[in-house]
Structure 1
């Protein structure tokens, strides 16, 4: 790896920087109120089908498929507005902004996320996280398969990846080995699932919340 920065901090978004579980809960409550529990469950089924097909959660794509099955209901035309206009800044976990600022003393911070090309960028922009990392945002379908591209765009001697999914951290560690320090915030439904935790090796660093990074010292990683 050609070194430019000493350290780059890659930060996941969903359930790492912001509470995506809360967003999903709010969306499901909204659908139940507007369309009823059966239609809400129908949307959830479509969402999971798309996740399997695409490899990421496509909320807007699922809404399009849901609408095709409910063309007679004009309320479906307003479904996307709930997501596109959602107050994403309210989802940012307490202490996240201070913790990101804390990391900057050792290296640049870069958002590295999975997702689609429309809703995920909008979520990051509307939440304010895009500005927090000065526009350094990478969004892939499977980020653990795009590490060469991430390193080309942000070459560094050492990387730190903060993610709520041990599967992602493990896959990246297998590729980058000692060039990567993994940080696992124990928050969100993936991180709290005992089966997920048991299925993968422990991260290099585990914290209860992203804000606990404020108590971490990464100076040993700097040159």
Structure 2
């Protein structure tokens, strides 16, 4: 009788430890749709004019800091309330708006297949969530989405993901680091940083969301490209392990 063959990383490289670093916004969670829901609730609370003023503050903060920072946008918005606003009114508006911003039911916006994808990746290596943004707000988003549990609680939040990769490699060590991401630029930067540390690197490009769409269909800078996180979830652990070790040049030559 034939013996069953091992699957996952042991089939390709018995001694290689693999760590998956999985993005959240537009990779595991439909952040574009969640933001639309936030805007809808805000317009109900503030009206169109004041909502537009908040989003102007949001974009200004993002432009100046290079990252999404919802709490800082709220600070900017409240600082510029119209002169003469009653303090009690300002306080009530602050509380209500904060509830809108932090109360989005993020679990409703987890992509189909996202949890299954994390569970599949755990059959190949260790899995952690790596997301960027305001540390307090982004951590709350992950907690409310329910995504921390399938990642066994390994959640790393940094204002700038690329600037934090060396620390991640130290605290979550592996021989091969794998970034699962919807932004091609983040995969390119991670490759340079991890290989510079002497680590093997693979990218999994999840082609969903506005940033992935902006990259165009021709971008091929990852070892594995899928059109959705559900497509990744449907792959076998062995197929994923093989794809991670297939050099890009051998597929594009």
TM-score normalised over the length of structure 1: 0.89
Q: How does 1:113-124 map to 2 (within 5 A)?
A: 113-124=131-142
Which deviations, in whole Å up to 9, do the C-alpha atoms of 1:18-43 show, x marking residues without a partner? Answer: 01101111111222222222222211
Which ranges of structure 1 fall in alignment gaps of 5 or more residues?
A: none
Q: Whose radius of gyration is greater, 1 or 2?
A: 2
* Contact 2:113 2:230 (C-alpha < 8 Å) held by counterparts: yes
* Contact 2:37 2:104 (C-alpha < 8 Å) held by counterparts: no
* Contact 1:55 1:141 (C-alpha < 8 Å) held by counterparts: no
- Measure, in 1, the Cα distance between the counterparts of 2:210 and 2:124: 30
TM-score normalised over the length of structure 2: 0.79
Matched, 1:187 2:208: yes
- Measure, in 1, the Cα distance between the counterparts of 2:29 and 2:180: 13
Matched, 1:206 2:217: no
Matched, 1:23 2:34: yes
User: Which position in structure 2 is the counterpart of 1:7?
Assistant: 18
- 1:138 aligns to what SS in structure 2? strand
* Distance change >3 Å, CA 175–CA 201, structure 1 → 2: farther
- Number of matched pairs: 217
- Measure, in 2, the Cα distance between the counterparts of 1:67 and 1:5: 51
> In terms of mean alpha carbon deviation, does 172-181 or 147-156 score higher?
172-181
* Distance change >3 Å, CA 77–CA 91, structure 1 → 2: same
Q: How does 1:51-130 map to 2 (within 5 A)?
A: 51-70=62-81, 72=85, 73-74=89-90, 75-130=93-148
Q: CA deviation at 1:102?
A: 0.8
> Larger relative contact order (C-alpha < 8 A, sep ≥ 6)?
1
Which deviations, in whole Å up to 9, do the C-alpha atoms of 1:41-90 show, x marking residues without a partner? Answer: 21111111111222321112211221222262543331010122221111
User: Which position in structure 2 is the counterpart of 1:215?
Assistant: 235
* Contact 2:21 2:130 (C-alpha < 8 Å) held by counterparts: yes
- Measure, in 1, the Cα distance between the counterparts of 2:106 and 2:173: 30
> In terms of mean alpha carbon deviation, does 54-63 or 71-80 score higher?
71-80
User: Cα RMSD over matched residues?
Assistant: 2.1
* Distance change >3 Å, CA 141–CA 12, structure 1 → 2: same
* Contact 1:166 1:197 (C-alpha < 8 Å) held by counterparts: no
> In terms of mean alpha carbon deviation, does 26-35 or 199-208 score higher?
199-208
- Measure, in 2, the Cα distance between the counterparts of 1:126 and 1:174: 33
Q: CA deviation at 1:200?
A: 6.3
